[in-house]
Structure formats: C-alpha cells, structure tokens
Structure 1
C-alpha cells in the first residue's frame, strides 16, 4: 500500500511517518528540495519532491497513492505571516483535496488543530467537535486559516468527492517538541529564565497518543467526521509549574495581567509595521489569555483513544531537552 505524508519532516509528521513505516507500509514523504530532513533520520521512507502550494507537483506525487496524510502547515502569530498561512494552510489544503479527488485517492487523513474549533474565554468553556466557532471576530491568523482549511475538506466529503477524516490535536508534548519555533517560551521555563505566566489554559496531549489516534482514525474513523485528540486541561500556570518541576528549576512567580499583555501585544504589532521585532503580537496575547480546553470523548469512544496524564507527556519533553544539553 502506497502512502504519502505531507509535512513529513516536521515534529508530528516525522512521528507519523516513522509509525507508518514500522507498520510495514510503503511510505513516501513529500518534501521540498531544500527541506531539512534531520527529523526523518533513520526512517526508512522514500522521498518525493513537491510542495502543497504547487498543484502540479502534487499531480505527479499523488499517482498510485492509496492514502494521503496531510500534515503540512504553517503555525504563526504575526500579521506579516498571514499571507503565508493563507497560501499553505488554506490554498495548500485545497490543492491536496483537489488532487485526491482527481486521482481517486482512497482516503485522506487531514491534520487540522483544535484552533479550528475555537477557544474559550472562561474555565467553564470546554469545547467539543460540535462547538460553534466563536472567535472569528478576533481574526486570529492561525485559527482562521486552519478553520477555513477544515471547511474545505468537510465540504468535499459532504459532496461525496473524497473520503476523509479530520483530526484536531491539542498542544502536543513529547521528545523533540522543543525544536518547534512555537516552544521558545516552554524552553525558557525549563531553563528557569521565564519570570511570568499568563491567565489562560491549555490542553496537553502526548505525541505518542496523537500518533495512535491518527492511525486509528485512518483505519476506523468515519468519513467526513472530525475527532479531537486532546488530553488534560490545565492552567498555563500549572503547565509552567510542571515543566519547571521536571527541569528542577523554580517556576515563573508572577502572573502578567491580561491588560498588560494586550498592551504589549499592541506595541509589538506597531513595531512590526515599522520593520522592528516586537516582544509579542496581539495574536500571542489573545492566545495566551484564552482557555484552550477540549473534550476528547468522541475519539475515546470511536477510536479507542487513550490520552495519558499531562505530567507524563511533559516529562518526556523535558527529558529530551536534558538529553540534548539544552538545560545546562
């Protein structure tokens, strides 16, 4: 069985590719000619050059493919990167769907995100697959582009054009996650360098559990359905405390008031317009003060998804940092 993975050289993509190879499948990693392939070191997959933003490259790469795992995407929180997110996350997904339809690919497994579902404003807001998308007025680039991309996949399923399943993982922790650009804050916590935390909440899920959920959804997930792959809902304060405890350092002692964070975000946006690097953006500020809390009951019931405690996922993340000498 020929399987193709987009975004195979990323953090989650490499874990998925390795798991598929270990199951004995013929796996092709779609990569750009100058991609960093270090995440796939030792993985016995084949490489095919292509780019989700170039539909012609996909027409060649998808020939004879049984299943496409579409993980390629851009995570960013700055206005200057919105165009790139539109191009990769939205247009790229539309291209993947189009070529799957044209080549009659048997199954598309689309890696969306919980951001496509939305976020809560209070600890009482715990979202599931049926929750209404409630943050469009904030126009947060990453949230909006993943939401739009998922709608493209869903529409093609509803019209009977493709067979696909959509997966919405929460914040993934595990060995190697510290390499992600979006984890600079967590690395600072583990190094004992961060002095503040914010008011919001996150959902922590282990990479091993997400991979298991993805493979189960491929085999057992219902066509056109979305499944949240989430673990434990915790406050950002408690997340940072867990990271610090695993690293053997003191946790950030001060809570930054929401008003201060939003002011700093606005200043950051203004600096960016002037071509300067700001401390953080307005989108960072909103993301850090909302409650990204989710319920994975549907995946647990239909996919046999069994998320482990957050502390275990964070332990594996911090242990990798230690092994790499990042905490000296």
Structure 2
C-alpha cells in the first residue's frame, strides 16, 4: 500500500489522482491522511477539476497528523512506500515555531516510522528554497550548490532544510530516499484560501488589479510535472539522490503578464525597484505590529522578488529523459478568464 502525507494540499491531491490513475483500477491501494473532513473537500475539488470524481472513492482516508505520533502508528500499518508532501508554507516570521514543529519535527516522525516499519522507499517533496545560494562566479544553482548557513534564509527555507536533514538521517539508518526540490509550483487555483500561496497568491493579486511587478527570476513548474517525476523516481531503481524540478526560469514580470493577459485584466505596469521593496517590507512590519495582522512581506521574501536566481534542471532531464510542460500554455490552460460585464 502507498501512503501520501499532505494529500489535502495541491501537490498531494494531484499525486493521489495520478497514483490512482496509474494503478489501473486499484492494483495497489493508496492511503492518505487528513486532519478534518473539510480539508478532504480540497482534494475532492481537484478530482472534480479533472472530471475524475469516481476515482476519489478509491482513496483510503485515515485521520492523522504528522506531529502526532500515536495517529501515525496506525497510519503506517501495511505501508510499502511513502510520499511525504505534508508541510506548512509560511513566510511570516511569527510562524517560526509552527514551521519547525510541522516541517522538521513532523518529517522526523515520518522518517522514524519509515525506518521502524521497514518502508521500501520514501519520497520527500522539498523546495528550491533549501538549495545553496548562487555565487558570483556561478551561472546557475544545481543540486551540488552548497547551502551557506551564514546567509539570511527565511524561516520556511530553514525548516525545509532541517526536514531534508531528517530525511538524509533516515538514509544513513538504512532507508532508501528521494528528495525533490520543486520551484514555484503552478496548478489550478480552486476555491480554497489554504492554497492561496505561490502561483495561487500571484493570481489572486493579479485579479484584484496588481499594479507592481518585479524583475526577479525563479524556477517555475507545473504541478502535474512534479507528481509525474516523483512517481517515476519512486518506481525506478534511482535512490538516495535529490533532484531540482523546474520547467523554466522566468521573471516574475513575465509570469504576471501571462496571468493578466489570460484573465483579460490590465498588466502590472509599475516596476517595484529593490528600494521600493525594501520600503514595503518595513511598512508591512509596522502594519503588523500596529494592527496585529499577519505579515505579508518579510525582509527575505522582499529580496527574493528582485533576486535573479537561475536553476538547472539538467540532472532530472538526463536521468528520466523528461520533457517538461511549457509554462505559458499550461498557465493559460488552468486559469479561468474573468467574465466581462
């Protein structure tokens, strides 16, 4: 049996769908964990988006939390392989303790149970945020680029890096593992606020008439590519390696323009310079203190919007001979244009 943690998130939900489709009417059963019934509706909406509602019934749902050891003990019964997608995504410094609890401690729990129950292979969905920083003499960031602890990193990046250390610790104790480092994951934006992160957050802002753009660069990838690669690696003999999973390196300006054009709304037309972004994160901090609101922009995330990072996908393309989905047509296929009044 296959176990998927984080099955109510964007990646986990798509992973469940693709696993079931590939199993040819359920040759191997799949189990997913959930914390409340409402969260399952998010996964059901993904199956509905692809008109695969009947396949949803093949998931065995078990109430559990990766930070709750007793519930995980029940979850791991009769499991052979594990896809660990569960994580907290937040760039608010106030969430530091939650990030460490869920992302590091939760991953340690998953790894411990994998070892205890003799799991054949674990796939961990990490992030490009855990990769090293581009040095002046380097052209791109690869799997070999070293993490520099002296550099400033977001609490999210630190927590995911800590989670990776737990996975590598599991490998040292005899567990076969695969780590995937996706870029900004693009997927259908459904009616769930929990998914207003990454591309979902960008799309929401563009819909509302976002005026500003930045010229920073990052790696982008379709969620369907992330899950296809994860499954291919798990079904292969490849083990104990990490892979950057990005389709293209694109500027945030270009991505915002594609979104705006597809939605038939005005493109962001004012360049947010590094100076302006530095000012905005300070204003956001003041606002959060005065009005006790959640931070929307930290110092590190502000810097990321104008940093031009280039990521290499050479390793995964070479290993799997994988052809990535082109970003522009994929974005157009998953965005519903705004209706003209």
Relative to the length of structure 1, the TM-score reads 0.90
- Segments of 4+ moved more than 6 angstroms: 121-124, 325-328
Task: Spell out the pairing of 1:69-218 with structure 2 (5 A cutoff).
Answer: 69-120=83-134, 125-134=139-148, 136-157=150-171, 159-176=172-189, 179=192, 180-182=195-197, 183-189=200-206, 191=207, 193-218=209-234
CA contact (8 A) 1:231 1:307 kept: yes
- Verify: 1:30 aligned to 2:45, yes or no: no
Alignment partner of 2:310: what SS?
coil
What residue in structure 1 maps to residue 323 of structure 2?
306
Q: CA RMSD in A?
A: 2.3
The CA deviation at 1:326 is 8.4
Q: Distance in 2 between matches of 1:122 and 1:104?
A: 44
CA distance in 1, matches of 2:268, 2:85: 33
What does 1:278-297 align with in structure 2 at a 5 Å threshold?
Answer: 280-297=297-314
Offset at 1:136? 5.0
Check if 1:262 corresponds to 2:265. no
- How much has 1:211 moved relative to structure 2? 1.5
**1:248 paired residue among 254, 264, 267:** 264
Taking structure 1 as reference, are residues 236 and 296 closer, same or farther at Cα in structure 2, changes over 3 Å only?
Answer: same
Secondary structure of residue in 2 paired with 1:233: strand
1:138 to 1:326, Cα distance in 2 relative to 1, 3 A: farther
**Shift in Å at residue 304 of structure 1?**
2.9
Unaligned runs of 5+ in 1: none
> How far apart, CA to CA, are the structure 2 residues paired with 1:240 and 1:91?
35
* 1:11-26 pair list within 5 angstroms: 11-24=10-23, 25-26=28-29
Determine helix, strand or coil for the equivalent of 2:322: coil
Distance 1:60 1:291 in 2: 45
User: In the alignment, which residue of structure 2 is the partner of 1:232?
Assistant: 248
Segments of structure 2 that go 5 or more residues without pairing to the other structure are: 45-52
2:262 and 2:237 map into 1 onto residues whose CA distance is 35
Quickly say closer, same or farther: Cα 1:70–1:139, change in 2 above 3 A.
Answer: same
Q: Check whether the contact 1:261–1:285 (CA below 8 A) recurs between aligned residues.
A: yes
Q: 1:90 to 1:275 in 2, by over 3 A?
A: farther
Task: Say which is worse superposed, 39-48 or 84-93, in terms of deviation.
Answer: 39-48
Counterpart residue number, 2:48: none
Taking a change above 3 Å as real, the CA distance of residues 171 and 119 of structure 1, as seen in their structure-2 partners, is farther
Q: 1:56 aligns with which of 49, 56, 70?
A: 70
Q: Give the Cα–Cα distance (whole angstroms) in 1 for the partners of residues 121 and 145 of structure 2.
A: 26
Contact 1:221 1:302 in 2 (8 A): no
Change in CA separation of 1:119 and 1:238 when aligned onto 2, cut-off 3 Å? farther
